Structure 1
Amino acid sequence: MWCPLTQPGGPAVCRQWGRLVPARLVAVVLLMTAVAVLQLGAVLLMVDRRPSPSRPLAVRPPPVRRPASTAERRRRAAPLLHLHLAQVMRDLHGSTDMELVRAGRLPRPASCPERAVIPWAGGRAGNMLFEYLTAWAVALRHDVPFLVPDVMIETFEGVFAGMTAQRGDLDLLLMDCAHLWHGRRNISVATIQDVWEDLAPITGWLELVGFPTNMTRPIYRLWHAHEAEMRAELRFSAPISSIVQEYLRRVRRALGPDDEPVTFIGVHVRRTDYYQATYNLDGVWMNMPGAAYFERAVRHYQRRYPNTVFVVVSDDMQWCREQLAALDAVILFPGDAGNPPMLDLALLGHCNHTIITFGTFALSAAIMTGGDVVVPKDLGITWNSYERQKDFWPAQWTEISVL
Structure 2
Amino acid sequence: MHLPERCNFTQLFLVICLCFFSLVSFSTFWHLQRKNSYSWWWTISVKNTSGPPKHEHTTPSVSSIRNKDGGMWTVNSIGRLGNQMGEYATLYALAKLNGHQAYILPAMHRYLAPIFKLTLPMIPSELVGKIPWRNYGLHDWMSEEYRHIQGKYVRLSGYPCSYTFYHHIRHEILQEFAFHDYIKEDANRYLLQIRGQRKTVTYIGVHVRRGDYVHVMPNIWKGVVADKNYLDKAMNYFREKYHDAVFVVVSNGMAWCKENMDASRGDVYFAGDGQESSPGRDFALIAHCNHTIMTIGTFGIWAGYLVGGETIYLANYTLPDSPFLKVFKPSAAFLPEWIGIPADLSPLLPKS
Is the pair's TM-score, using the shorter chain for normalization, greater than 0.5? yes
**Mapped partners of 1:373, 1:221: distance in 2:** 17
Alignment RMSD (CA, Å):
2.6
User: Per-residue deviation at 1:134?
Assistant: 0.7
2:73 corresponds to 1:117: yes
- Conserved? CA contact 2:60–2:121, under 8 Å: yes
Cα separation, partners in 2 of 1:327 and 1:144, compared to 1, 3 Å = farther
**Mapped partners of 2:213, 2:246: distance in 1:** 27
Which position in structure 2 is the counterpart of 1:151?
107
**Mapped partners of 2:316, 2:336: distance in 1:** 19
Gaps of 5+ in 2: 1-49, 345-352
2:241 corresponds to 1:293: no
Q: What is the TM-score of this pair, normalised by structure 1?
A: 0.65
- Conserved? CA contact 1:102–1:239, under 8 Å: no
| Secondary structure at 1:235 match in 2 | coil
Q: How does 1:4-403 map to 2 (within 5 A)?
A: 103-112=54-63, 113-114=65-66, 115-161=71-117, 163-173=118-128, 178=130, 181=131, 184=132, 187-193=133-139, 196=143, 198=145, 199-200=147-148, 202-212=150-160, 215=161, 219-252=162-195, 254-256=196-198, 260-281=199-220, 284=222, 286-326=223-263, 328=265, 330-338=267-275, 340-381=278-319, 382-384=322-324, 388-390=329-331, 393-403=334-344
May I ask how many residue pairs the two structures share in their alignment?
A: 284
Cα deviation 1:119-152 (Å, max 9, x = unaligned): 1011111111111111011122234221111111
One-letter amino acid of the counterpart of residue 126, structure 1: G
Which structure has the higher relative contact order (CA within 8 Å, separation 6+)?
1
**Mapped partners of 1:197, 1:371: distance in 2:** 29
**Mapped partners of 1:151, 1:211: distance in 2:** 15
Gaps of 5+ in 1: 1-98
- Conserved? CA contact 1:102–1:240, under 8 Å: no
Cα deviation 1:344-389 (Å, max 9, x = unaligned): 1111110111111111111111111111110112413344469942
| Secondary structure at 1:271 match in 2 | coil
User: Per-residue deviation at 1:156?
Assistant: 1.3
**Mapped partners of 1:276, 1:395: distance in 2:** 29
- Conserved? CA contact 1:375–1:399, under 8 Å: yes
**Mapped partners of 1:171, 1:331: distance in 2:** 48
Cα deviation 1:307-357 (Å, max 9, x = unaligned): 001000100111111111445460001232226211111111101111111
One-letter amino acid of the counterpart of residue 235, structure 1: A
One-letter amino acid of the counterpart of residue 278, structure 1: M
**Mapped partners of 1:196, 1:105: distance in 2:** 36
Q: Which entry has the higher C-alpha Rg, 1 or 2?
A: 1
